[in-house]
Amino acid sequence: MAQITIEPATPARFDDAQHAFSGGGDGRSCQCQWWTITNAEWQKTSADERLELLRDEIDAGPPPALIAYVDGEAAGWVRVGPRTRQVRLGRTKNFTATSKEPWEDETVWAVSCFVVRKEHRGTGLNARLLEAAVDFARAGGARVVEAYPFDPASGRKRSPNELFHGVLSTFEDAGFREVGRPRTDLAVVSLTL
């Protein structure tokens, strides 16, 4: 049985984050910056510039994410932190119109992005990352954890790359409750800590 450990994304683990991002999907080009910069900024930045933005974010701390290791090798990533530090979330009408929490509240954290290397997909690693993210949020002073998962049961087909929000059933299994449905395939879920 594989040994799974999950650790904060710290400066010493930056190369591990890059390994997790390199296993297929958009992680390498996005560098988990989609939610942290405005659309205008996104359009102006290259993948190399996003890598440096992530490096700066990790160097400045606190850790913006967690890294999953399978048998000592970086295999996945989950972004978790206060919503206020994830600028684009507060500019996304699907979320602002549906969330029940005030947007300026620092105690509301968001789980906004998962990356899992291809060889580890379908193994339950997202569920382990989510469990660790909730624990990390609780330890960081979060009152509520919110997320914006896709619902495959809606019938809308999604590529693995498009599932970076996570899937609804993973959050429901972790005790999150649905607070709104801005689209048939997209839910807003919440867990009070």
Average pLDDT over residues 65-73: 98
User: How distant, in Å, are the alpha carbons of 19, 69, 122, 160 from that of 66?
Assistant: 13, 10, 19, 20
Whether residue 3 is predicted with pLDDT greater than 90 in this model: the reply is yes
Q: What topology is assigned to 4-192 in CATH?
A: Aminopeptidase (3.40.630)
**Amino acid 162: pLDDT:** 77
pLDDT grade, residue 31 (50/70/90)?
very high
**What is the model's pTM?**
0.95
Nearest to 140 by CA among 151, 132, 150, 148: 132
Average pLDDT over residues 99-105: 94
pLDDT grade, residue 9 (50/70/90)?
very high
**Amino acid 163: pLDDT:** 83
> Using CA atoms, how far apart are residues 184 and 155, in angstroms rounded to an integer?
9
Average pLDDT over residues 8-37: 93
CA 48 to chain centre: 20
Question: Of 60-74, 86-100, 124-138, which range is least confident?
Answer: 86-100
Q: What is the pLDDT of residues 119-134, one digit of tens each?
A: 999 999 999 999 999 9
